[in-house]
């Protein structure tokens, strides 16, 4: 067990794109335990490594011991995934991680949900966290399950959880063609890291919240009012500016 005063954070799915962005930018501020079922990419980093398959409930219990916060990223993130492939990691794995975090008396879980939980709304509708879920695919359904499960664990089992609907975390470069949807859903690396840090650090008025994860795009697929009010999230980037659109008017 570490003697450092930094928060001990278990990051599941740490070898993926979001996990990598997080440990690269915020790794010095936390005592990180990077967990993934495939850890080869994580060797040599100045963090603790845990080979963890979240479909194994006992391994999740072990990994959560002594953790302050769990950043739960491990998932199949493919919007076209079929039900069988989502069942193990997105459904069972998420249950195992929440159950283990509760048993280990973790202070908080931050759950990576997705804009796909509400992607069924027409593209000219800006979605707020108070609107009913409307997934467009089974991956989105699995994230709706995760959000419901998070609400259950928060209100009925006493484990505070923030579900953050990450939208479109991709590299945007000037000159590259992007769809209008992706531009309005874009979240930059530094905005995503800021948001995850605020999800970890912000005082919570309620045990459960859904917050939205987009940058300060001129047009936003997801409304940011709750995210800014609850967490003080202050996004710095705008996909339209990044791609060279004239925003003077």
Ligand X SMILES: NC(=O)c1ccc[n+]([C@@H]2O[C@H](COP(=O)([O-])OP(=O)(O)OC[C@H]3O[C@@H](n4cnc5c(N)ncnc54)[C@H](O)[C@@H]3O)[C@@H](O)[C@H]2O)c1
Tell me which residues touch ligand X (CB under 6 A): 12-13, 15-19, 36-38, 52-55, 73-75, 77, 89, 93, 112, 114, 166, 168-169
Closest C-alpha among 116, 146, 147, 158 to residue 134: 116
Minimum CB distance to ligand X smaller for 143 or for 238? 143
Minimum CB distance to ligand X smaller for 81 or for 159? 81
Q: 8 has which bridge partners?
A: 31
Minimum CB distance to ligand X smaller for 127 or for 168? 168
3-state SS class at 58: helix
3-state SS class at 234: coil
Minimum CB distance to ligand X smaller for 205 or for 210? 210
Nearest approach, Cβ of 59 to ligand X (angstroms)? 9
CA dihedral sign, ordered 206, 211, 215, 220: negative
CB 48 within 8 A of CB 34: yes
Q: Which residue of the set 23, 33, 139, 186 is catalytic?
A: 139
Sheet holding 108-114, edge to edge: 48-51, 31-36, 8-12, 69-72, 108-114, 161-166, 208-213
Is 139 a catalytic site residue?
A: yes
- Ranked by CB distance to ligand X, the top (closest) residue is 16
Nearest approach, Cβ of 57 to ligand X (angstroms)? 12
Nearest approach, Cβ of 246 to ligand X (angstroms)? 27
CA distance 127 to 118: 7
Nearest approach, Cβ of 43 to ligand X (angstroms)? 14
- Catalytic residue list: 139
């Amino acid at each position: 067990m570490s003697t450092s005063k930094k928060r001990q954070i278990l990051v599941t799915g740490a070898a993926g794109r979001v996990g990598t962005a997080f440990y690269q930018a915020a790794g010095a501020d936390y005592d990180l335990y990077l967990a993934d079922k495939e850890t080869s990419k994580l060797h040599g980093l100045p963090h603790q490594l845990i080979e963890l398959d979240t479909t194994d409930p006992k391994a999740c219990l072990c990994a959560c011991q002594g953790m302050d916060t769990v950043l739960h990223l491990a998932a199949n993130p493919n919007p076209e995934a079929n039900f069988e492939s989502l069942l193990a990691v997105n459904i069972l794995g998420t249950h195992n991680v929440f159950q283990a975090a509760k048993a280990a008396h973790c202070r908080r879980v931050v759950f990576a949900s997705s804009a796909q939980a509400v992607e069924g709304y027409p593209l000219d509708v800006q979605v707020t966290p108070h609107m009913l879920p409307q997934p467009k695919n089974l991956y989105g359904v699995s994230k709706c399950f995760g959000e419901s499960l998070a609400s259950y664990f928060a209100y009925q089992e006493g484990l505070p959880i923030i579900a953050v609907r990450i939208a479109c975390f991709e590299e945007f470069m000037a000159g590259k063609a992007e769809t209008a949807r992706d531009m309005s859903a874009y979240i930059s690396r530094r905005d995503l890291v800021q948001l995850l840090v605020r999800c970890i650090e912000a005082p919570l008025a309620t045990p459960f919240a859904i917050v939205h994860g987009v940058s300060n795009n001129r047009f936003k697929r997801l409304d940011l009012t709750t995210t800014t009010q609850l967490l003080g999230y202050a996004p710095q980037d705008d996909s339209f500016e990044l791609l060279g659109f004239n925003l003077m008017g």
